[in-house]
């Protein structure tokens, strides 16, 4: 019975250390998305994955042009289909109201990173205008949803861990009480 107590203590301590592991991710990024219109694809991502209200984060844009790929097999290689330069403007909406604009700018390479801060938590719509990309030099507009949340801090992770530990302890208690209840021959 003493070995079982030591094992239970080790499992308990192991469960308490799980919230310290912050880098594991088994899903695609929460605020990353891509949209394709014609030959152009715009990819948007945020760093960190889930920005907090009133905290600065990095908003990343990447522009791909599939017409630049030389053949069908090469079109899957995004490194070869990144544009050399592009002109882009951004509008940010919250509750269907325009809250910020970034004037159209020319960028070399296929990527543009900007520091940004959402002042309200919730869903923001980011409209991206890619200039001179459509037929006859038209502007292509892409829409992306980007969410910002209020961070509860690590207490939320600890509460979830405590719930898991409570479930584990309940199962062990049921297993032990069933063993004690068995009639002895």
pLDDT tens for each residue of 156-170: 677 888 888 998 899
Q: Which residue has the higher pLDDT, 6 or 123?
A: 123
Residue 6 domain-assigned (yes or no): no
User: Is residue 176 a part of any domain in this protein?
Assistant: yes
Give the number of other Cβ atoms within 10 Å of residue 144's Cβ.
21
Range of the domain at 182: 152-185
In angstroms, rounded to a whole number, what is the distance separating the alpha carbons of residues 119 and 139? Answer: 29
**How far is the C-alpha of 11 from the C-alpha of 13, rounded, in Å?**
5
Q: Can you state the angle between helices 155-181 and 2-17, rounded to 10 degrees?
A: 160
Task: Give the residue, 127 or 65, on which the prediction is more confident.
Answer: 127
- Same domain as 159, residue 97: no
Evaluate whether residue 10 is within a structural domain: no
Domain total in the chain:
2
Residues forming a β-bridge with 59: 46, 114
Residue 27: inside a domain: no
pTM recorded for the entire structure: 0.62
Q: Regarding beta strands 140-148 and 97-108, do their DSSP bridges make them parallel or antiparallel, or are they unpaired?
A: unpaired
136 and 101 part of one domain: yes
More confident residue, 80 or 173: 173
pLDDT one-digit tens code per residue, 4-45: 776 776 777 676 666 555 444 444 566 778 888 777 888 898
**Structure token digits, residue 182:** 């068995």
């Amino acid at each position: 019975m003493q070995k079982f107590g030591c094992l239970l203590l080790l499992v308990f301590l192991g469960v308490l250390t799980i919230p310290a592991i912050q880098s594991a991710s088994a899903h695609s990024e929460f605020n990353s998305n891509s949209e394709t219109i014609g030959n152009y694809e715009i990819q948007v991502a945020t760093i960190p994955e889930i920005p907090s209200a009133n905290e600065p984060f990095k908003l990343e844009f990447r522009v791909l042009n599939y017409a630049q790929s030389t053949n069908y097999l090469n079109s899957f290689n995004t490194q070869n289909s990144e544009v050399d330069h592009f002109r882009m403007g951004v509008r940010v909406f919250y509750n269907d109201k325009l809250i910020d604009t970034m004037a159209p700018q020319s960028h070399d390479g296929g990527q543009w990173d900007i520091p940004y801060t959402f002042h309200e938590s919730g869903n923001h719509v980011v409209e991206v205008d890619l200039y001179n990309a459509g037929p006859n030099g038209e502007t292509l507009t892409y829409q992306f949803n980007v969410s910002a949340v209020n961070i509860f801090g690590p207490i939320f992770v600890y509460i979830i861990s405590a719930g898991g530990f409570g479930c584990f302890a309940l199962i062990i208690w049921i297993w032990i009480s069933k063993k004690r209840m068995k009639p002895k021959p």
